[in-house]
Structure formats: structure tokens, C-alpha cells
Amino acid sequence: MKKLLSFLIALCLLSGLVFVSSVAVFAEDGDNVYVIDKSGLLEDYDVFKYDVVLKEMSEERNEDLLILITDGDSAASLAEEYGVEVDAESPFYLQGIAENYYDSNGRGYGEDKNGILVLMRTGEPFENNICVCTNGDMDGEFGDEDIEKLVDSAGPYLNEGNISGAVSACIDAEEQFFKAKESSVIPTEEELFAEDEGKVYFYDHAKVLSDDETGRIRDELKSLSEEFGCDVVIATSAVDMDDDSFETMYYDNRGYGTGEERDGILTVIIIDGSNTPSTMLSLCGKLAYEDTQDVKNEFDPDYKYDLNSNNYYSAIRLCIEAERRYLEKYQESLGFHPVKKGVIATLIGTVIGAISTFTMKGKLKSVTRKNQAADYVVPGSFELRDSRDLFLYSHVTKTARPQNDSRSGGGGGGFHVSSGGVSHNSTRF
Amino acid sequence: MASQQLEYKCPCCGGAITFDSTLQKMKCPFCDTEFDVETLQQYDEELNHDAPDDMKWDVEAGDEWQSGETDGMRVYACKSCGGEIVGDETLAATTCPYCGNPVVLMGQFRGELKPDLIIPFKLDKEAAKRGLTEHLKGKRLLPKIFKDQNHIDEIKGLYVPFWLFDADSDASIRYKGTRSRSWSDSRYIYTETSYYSLIREGRVSFSHVPVDGSSKMEDELMESIEPFDFSEAVDFQTAYLAGYLADKYDVTAEQSVDRVNQRVKKSTEDAFLSTVTGYSGVYAENSNINLSNGKAKYALYPVWILNTTWNGQNYRFAMNGQTGKFVGDLPMDKGLFWKWLLGVGIGVAAVIFALLYLWWKMRG
């Protein structure tokens, strides 16, 4: 009995020891670490930098996004830990390590342990040296195509030994995946523009107007375009896309725009049912060099009210009036305006005149106090006995970058050249 | 046995720091900043070294006149401004170098300290007159009539009394330095700012720092004509005074100490600051300067002086009688000021207007 009791106690102690050791081994890969560099090849600063970025992405997406970097030796060590008994060149080798690492470190967000672990192995370019392990909701969503894109973008960097570049490419691929996930299903041009109608200036793809209303709007926009010598196009859309897609589909590929630079204005009213309607406005050609705020300022406050109240015809008419007022002012601004230019010239002249005259006045003063005695330092007498720089602490702050106020990421917002080759300056409101 | 509780102050916010057993580091409960124990100990040691400056001088300068040395020297006084100057017995009627009024002979020079050193005049009156002419050249806002009515011949050579200070300055200075680095992704711009405590200790020596010993000479004017080349200084002899005036000191070396302390301290701090490199921001948290071997000497330095009055205002010019550096604030003709301001302003405005018109034409 005594022997049995002693044996049981010893067994408990041994189990406890094993448990504590496991915790100790994995404790270093503990919480709040998103870039784990077992190879030691990534610079400390890069580990810190990418860790901050991945932590940010993980918290925003409610996914645990990790990158584990190993070399041949550390991968072998992990394989031995987890009992992965396949050949190092087999695709299941890194997969086994990745899955075991993810599970044994308790990674994953929420009950379903959602997340993605990317395991990279540095060194000699084996064929399967990047493994992507998905968990929880990412299992079905981050599919083969997404994995292939990630591997194709990060692989070349890894093979040439640029670990930092590989990690950065990996993060970019994941970011692209999450952005694309948020986009709605985008229809093709063939689906949208079934017949070649020529320049009609208005498209009601959201089907919010009657045929009669559509006809009237088209006539009004045609005459507006002819009056100001630039194409003014308006469309309603039932799906949201990035700005570049709207511009290419509705303007560039439809042949809109006058003159060499294809001048005009494109307005797309997005009515997709799930959110309040929003407006994408794009100044095109020469107009792209103007400020979009000037157009927005011409919009009557009733425009938004009408959109939200489903008075689409009224809203579109207000849009046309706003764009007319803008074009009138724009045409006027193309004139010389001698008074305005005279004021500008006078202000600049005054500033330069003041600078030069005060400089001349300064030359009249030559008596100044001497606050130092540098001229009287004995040459060679300076002796630095002790010079110490002590690091105290550091802080990291982050500032949000200005984004377009668009729901689908607003690709192409601000001044840009669309994939159709036309200059655009777009905004959303 | 009473126990002594050690308290560290947070270098970031000044709060009392405690040891965080989870992190195994010191952590401030107020601003959440973490520190290594060793770094904090070193920083605290440096804080304990802070002490006030110790800047003392031996101001026993000058010598006793030997018998017969002052026989040829006379004292002249100005009834207008009360200034007293010393000249030799051959000096004819002259005007006060301070206010331009005539001086009267008071009598035989006696007493006072004998200067230790003198830098003899190297540049003559003609050079001084040329210096003044050059000084007035190219000053577009100077009234023309000022140039014409300048009594240039009244420029006088005057030996000005100076106290010269030597010292070794031992300094211990603590700076706070910052380094920043930034990176970004598509959504945020991240900035990491690291804070450092920078300690610099050492020594630098100063030789012959001058402070003018005459209350009649503006300190700013005398400092403006520096530096003097001390290598040309010689032991004082009355013969050097022949043909020139000399001022007597009426500001003692003790009274000059504050001024020299300011200059020595500033130069010491500048010298150590130049060793701090690689930081985006640096400022001195504490500076402790001790002077040793501080000595003063009494010397006469050569200065050409001219006083002139224009429009009720007195203007004084000075030229370094050794190097030729000429200084002196000049009056401004307000009419000329406005003419230049309007002329340049209108001219530039016209050119810009024309350019704007051409640009508009080219745009079509």
C-alpha cells in the first residue's frame, strides 16, 4: 500500500514537471506575439514593426493572424517536439508543425479559434517552404486561390533570403484578402450594358426611376453636356464597387469625355439596399485638376434628404442643378480676373518688399552682445572624461491615415489615372 | 534597525515607480511606462550628482606703480559728462571721447592700479578714418546728410581698461535626448519615440576672457569689437600711452565676475552639447560647472572711438585698434525706408502680375 502510494505521488510529481516544462517551452511563444522568429534572421526592429501591424489587423478582423519563421534546424526541433515524423521535403512536414504549434499555444480568436498561421522556412529553397494553416471561419473562407496568391507573392522573397520582404508580402496578401471579402459581388460590363446605346448620359441600373423619368433625365444631361462642352454622366447602381471600377465601366469604356483629355463629370448614386444611399463623384480629364470640394459645395442639403427618403428623381434633378452651378463657376474661373490677380501680386510684392527693406535696416545695426566666450577657449584644452547614453523608455503612437469616405475601400479616391487611362479626381459623400 | 525605503521617480511623468513582479521590471503606475532596474539605478545615481555651479575667481589683479612711472601722466576731466581720462603731459586741448565736449586738465595722475598688460595700437588714425568710411558704405537707409556731417577728424585713440579672466571649467551636464522612427501600413502611421538620458563630463580651459572695466564704455560696444589677439599683448609701460588717451577703470574685477561667468558657462555648455549627436531632440536637464585656477588680470586694449550727434541722438562708433573691426549702430532715414518698401513692393507686384497674365495666356 505504501509502495503504491509512493508510486502514485512520484507519478503525479513527474506529470507536473512535464506540464510545467511544456508551459515553460511554449511560454516564450506566449500571448500577444504575432511574428515569431525562430530563425533569428529577422532584425529586431522588423519583428517589432510587423508584430504591431499584425496585432492591429488581428484585433480589427477578430482573427488571430500569425507568422512563424523557422530555419531548417528550428523546424526540425519543432518537428521533433510535436512528433511530426515525415520527410522535411514533404508538404505535410510544415503542415504538421504549423497545426501543432497553433493548437498547443492556444492561438485562435473566439470559440472557433479563428485565425491564419503562415509558417515560413528559410534557407535552401525547398519546394514547400511556405505553409498556410487556417482555422475556424478561415478554414472555408481563405481558400486555395488565396493561399496560392500568398505563396506566389511571398515565396520569391523567401527564396532570395529577404525575410522582411516575405513577411511584408504575406501581410499584404492577407490584407488584400480581407478587403476583397468586404466587397459586394461586382457585375460584369456585359451584364450591366446589354445593348450599345451610344452616349445616353444616364443609366438607371438600380431601377429606381420610371422610363419616362429616365428619358427626361437623359435629355437634360445631354443638353447640359452640349452647353458646357463636357460630358456630364449620372448613373444609379445597385452594387458598390471601388472608384476605379465605376470610372472604367461607366465613363472610360463607354467613350465619354470631350477633347483630348476626355473632360467631364461622372456621378454614381449607390443604392444597394443594405446601407443608406451614397454618391461617388468623379471629375474627369482637365476637370480632374480641380477640387472636388467645390462641386460638393454646390449640392443642396435636400439632396441627401431626398436620397434617404427614396425620392430619387428629385435627388437626381438636384444633382444636375448642382453640377450646372459648378460648371458655370468653373467656366467663369477660366477668365483672367485682373482684380484678383492684382491682389495676389500686391501681397507677394509687399512681402518681398518688407523682407528686403528690413534686411537693409538690419545692416544698420552692428552692436551686439556676446553671450559666449568661444574665441577664448584654449586650443586643445577640451577633454571629455565621461560620455554615457542611457536608454530610458520608448512610446509607440499611431495616427490614422486619411481615408476616402467610401464603404468598399474606395480604391482610386483622390487624383489618379484610371485603368482606362483617363485622369480622374474622385470623392464620396 | 530602521529600514530605508528606496524610491525611484519616473523619468517620464515624475510619479513613484514600483516593481512589477509579472514583468520583472520597474513600472510607473501613473503612465504605465516600463524601465529596466539597472537603467533606473544608473539614472537615479546621476540625479544624485546634481549640484549648483561653483564659479569662484581670484580677482587680485594689477600692480603698484613704480616711482616716477606716472610723472608724465595727467588726468583730464569732462565738465559735461564727468568722464575722466588719462593722457600724457604733451596732450593739447582735446575733446571728451565719450561725449565730444572739451576736457580740462585736472592735474597730475596718481594712485590707481597699474595695468598688467597692454595691446599697443596697431592701426593709426588714417586706418580708423578709412574704417568709418567703409562702415558707412552700402547702407541704403542711412541718411545722406549723416555721411556728410560726421566730424571724422574727431576720431580718437583710447586705451580702454579690461579685466581678463583665465579659468579651467569642469562640467557635468545631463541632457534628455529623443530618437524617432516611423513606419506605416495602409491604415496607420506608427511613430516610435525613444528617450535617453545623456551624461557628459569633462573640462575646458579659457584664457583672457575680456570684460570692459569702464562704466562709460557700453559693454555691448566693447564686446562687438572682439576678439582681440592676446598674443600681441606686452607688459605695460607708460610710453605706450604717448599720443593716446587712456580710460581709468571704475568697474572692479569683482563687479565683472557675473558677466564672465555667463559667457564661460554658455561656452562650456555649447562645447559639451557639440558631443551629443544622433538625436532628433536634445535639451539640457541639469548643468553643474565648477571653475578652478580662476584668475583676473588688468589690461588696456586699443580702441578708436568717435562720438557724433545727429537729430538730437548720440551715436558712438568704435574700431578695434588692433584688428580694425568697426562697429556702431547707424540711424535710419524713415523716408528712405518707405521709398524702398514701396518701390520694391510695387516693382515685384508688377512683375508677378505680368507673369500671371502670361501664364494665363499660355494655358489658353
- pLDDT tens digit sequence for A291-327: 999 999 999 999 999 998 889 999 999 999 999 999 9
DSSP state of B328: -
Instruction: Please report the pLDDT score of residue A29 as a whole number.
Output: 45
Strands A130-135, B84-88: pairing is unpaired
Residue A150 sits in the same domain as residue A286:
no
- pLDDT tens digit sequence for B173-229: 999 999 999 888 777 888 999 999 999 999 999 999 999 999 888 999 999 999 999
Instruction: Please report the pLDDT score of residue A396 as a whole number.
Output: 86
Q: Is residue A18 part of a domain?
A: no
Q: Is A337 in CB contact (< 8 Å) with chain B? A: no
Q: Which amino acid is at A258?
A: T
pLDDT confidence tier of residue B266, bands split at 50, 70 and 90 = very high
pLDDT (average), residues A353-377: 94
pLDDT (average), residues B334-358: 95
Q: From A336, A354, A356, select the one nearest B353 (Cα to Cα).
A: A336
- Nearest Cα of chain B lies from the Cα of A349 at a distance, in angstroms, of 4
Instruction: Please report the pLDDT score of residue A238 as a whole number.
Output: 87
- Would you tell me which residues 234-263 of chain A have a C-beta closer than 8 angstroms to some C-beta of chain B? none
Indicate if the pLDDT at residue A23 is higher than 50: no
Interface test with A, best of B197, B356, B357, B358 (most A CBs within 10 A): B356
Any residues with CB less than 8 A from the CB of A81 and at least 6 apart, and which?
A: A25, A100
Chain B CB contacts of A356 below 8 Å: 340, 344
Residue A171 sits in the same domain as residue A275:
no
Q: Is residue A51 part of a domain?
A: yes
Q: Nearest residue of B to residue A369 by CA position?
A: B220
Q: Is residue A216 part of a domain?
A: yes
Residue A64 sits in the same domain as residue A153:
yes
Instruction: Please report the pLDDT score of residue A409 as a whole number.
Output: 40
Chain A CB contacts of B206 below 8 Å: 373, 376-378
Question: Please, which residues bridge with residue A237 across strands?
Answer: A270
Domain final residue pick, A182, A209, A243: A182
Q: Are B321 and B84 in contact (CB under 8 A)?
A: no
Residue A195 sits in the same domain as residue A174:
no
pLDDT (average), residues A198-227: 93
Instruction: Please report the pLDDT score of residue B18 as a whole number.
Output: 81
Q: Which structural domain, as residue segments, surrounds residue A414?
A: 189-334+408-428
pLDDT confidence tier of residue B59, bands split at 50, 70 and 90 = low
Instruction: Please report the pLDDT score of residue A417 as a whole number.
Output: 86
B245/A125: higher pLDDT? B245
Positive or negative, the Cα torsion across A320, A321, A325, A331? positive
Phi/psi of residue B62, each to 5°?
80, 175
| Window from A19-33, B8-22, B91-105, B290-304 with minimum mean pLDDT | A19-33
A32/A412: higher pLDDT? A32
Residue A175 sits in the same domain as residue A75:
yes
Q: Three-class SS of residue A419?
A: coil
Place of cell 559728462: B81
Instruction: Please report the pLDDT score of residue A411 as a whole number.
Output: 43
Instruction: Please report the pLDDT score of residue B3 as a whole number.
Output: 41
Chain A CB contacts of B228 below 8 Å: none
Q: Is residue A2 part of a domain?
A: no
Q: How far apart, in whole angstroms, are the C-alpha atoms of residue A307 and residue A272? A: 12
Residue A282 sits in the same domain as residue A414:
yes
Q: Is residue A49 part of a domain?
A: yes
- pLDDT tens digit sequence for B134-178: 998 999 999 887 777 667 777 889 999 999 999 999 999 999 999
Most confident range, picked from A352-366, B28-42, B108-122, B183-197: A352-366
Q: How far apart, in whole angstroms, are the C-alpha atoms of residue B296 and residue B24? A: 56
Indicate if the pLDDT at residue B52 is higher than 60: yes
A337/A406: higher pLDDT? A337
- Nearest Cα of chain B lies from the Cα of A145 at a distance, in angstroms, of 23
pLDDT confidence tier of residue B244, bands split at 50, 70 and 90 = confident
- Is B223's CB within 8 Å of A344's CB? no
Domain final residue pick, A153, A182, A211: A182
Q: Quote the cell numbers at residue A210.
A: 420610371
Residue A172 sits in the same domain as residue A197:
no
Interface test with B, best of A376, A377, A387, A397 (most B CBs within 10 A): A376
pLDDT confidence tier of residue A355, bands split at 50, 70 and 90 = very high
| Window from A362-371, B234-243, B353-362 with minimum mean pLDDT | B234-243
| Window from A192-206, A372-386, B193-207 with minimum mean pLDDT | A192-206
B40's enclosing H/E stretch is helix B37-48
Indicate if the pLDDT at residue A361 is higher than 90: yes
- pLDDT tens digit sequence for B95-119: 777 777 777 666 666 666 788 899 9
Residue A163 sits in the same domain as residue A254:
no
A70/B240: higher pLDDT? A70
Indicate if the pLDDT at residue B20 is higher than 70: yes
Q: Is residue A6 part of a domain?
A: no
- Nearest Cα of chain B lies from the Cα of A208 at a distance, in angstroms, of 35
Q: Nearest residue of B to residue A377 by CA position?
A: B206
Instruction: Please report the pLDDT score of residue A287 as a whole number.
Output: 93
Q: Nearest residue of A to residue B267 by CA position?
A: A372
Q: Is A392 in CB contact (< 8 Å) with chain B? A: yes
Q: Three-class SS of residue A368?
A: coil
Q: Nearest residue of A to residue B32 by CA position?
A: A395
Residue A162 sits in the same domain as residue A102:
yes
pLDDT confidence tier of residue B46, bands split at 50, 70 and 90 = confident
The partner residue sitting opposite B203, judged by closest CB among A370, A383, A396, is: A383
Q: How far apart, in whole angstroms, are the C-alpha atoms of residue B353 and residue A302? A: 42
Residue A196 sits in the same domain as residue A101:
no
Residue A170 sits in the same domain as residue A75:
yes
| Window from A17-21, A251-255, B177-181, B226-230 with minimum mean pLDDT | A17-21
Q: What is the mean pLDDT of chain B?
A: 85
Which runs of E-coded beta strand occur in chain B? Answer: 18-20, 25-27, 34-35, 73-78, 84-88, 103-108, 117-118, 156-184, 188-212, 234-235, 245-247, 281-310, 313-320, 326-327
Indicate if the pLDDT at residue B233 is higher than 90: yes
CA A414 to each of CA A136, A258, A290, A424: distance values in angstroms, whole numbers, following the listed order: 38, 21, 11, 8
Indicate if the pLDDT at residue B86 is higher than 60: yes
- Is A397's CB within 8 Å of B190's CB? yes
Q: How far apart, in whole angstroms, are the C-alpha atoms of residue B193 and residue A274? A: 43
Q: Is residue A402 part of a domain?
A: no
- Is B329's CB within 8 Å of A366's CB? yes
Domain final residue pick, A130, A165, A182: A182
- Is B198's CB within 8 Å of A346's CB? no
| Window from A19-33, A258-272, A287-301, A344-358 with minimum mean pLDDT | A19-33
Q: Is A339 in CB contact (< 8 Å) with chain B? A: no
- Is B184's CB within 8 Å of A401's CB? yes
Q: Nearest residue of A to residue B272 by CA position?
A: A384
Residue A318 sits in the same domain as residue A205:
yes
Q: How far apart, in whole angstroms, are the C-alpha atoms of residue B211 and residue B165? A: 8
pLDDT confidence tier of residue B83, bands split at 50, 70 and 90 = confident
CATH number, domain containing residue A312 = 3.10.310.50
Q: How far apart, in whole angstroms, are the C-alpha atoms of residue A179 and residue A242? A: 11
Q: How far apart, in whole angstroms, are the C-alpha atoms of residue B147 and residue B137? A: 9
Instruction: Please report the pLDDT score of residue A412 as a whole number.
Output: 46
Q: Is residue A84 part of a domain?
A: yes
Q: Are A18 and A31 in contact (CB under 8 A)?
A: no
Domain count, chain A: 2
Alpha helices in A229-311 (DSSP H): 243-247, 292-296, 302-308
Q: Is A182 in CB contact (< 8 Å) with chain B? A: no
- Nearest Cα of chain B lies from the Cα of A177 at a distance, in angstroms, of 14
Q: What is the mean pLDDT of chain A?
A: 86
A405/A345: higher pLDDT? A345
Phi/psi of residue A411, each to 5°?
-60, 125
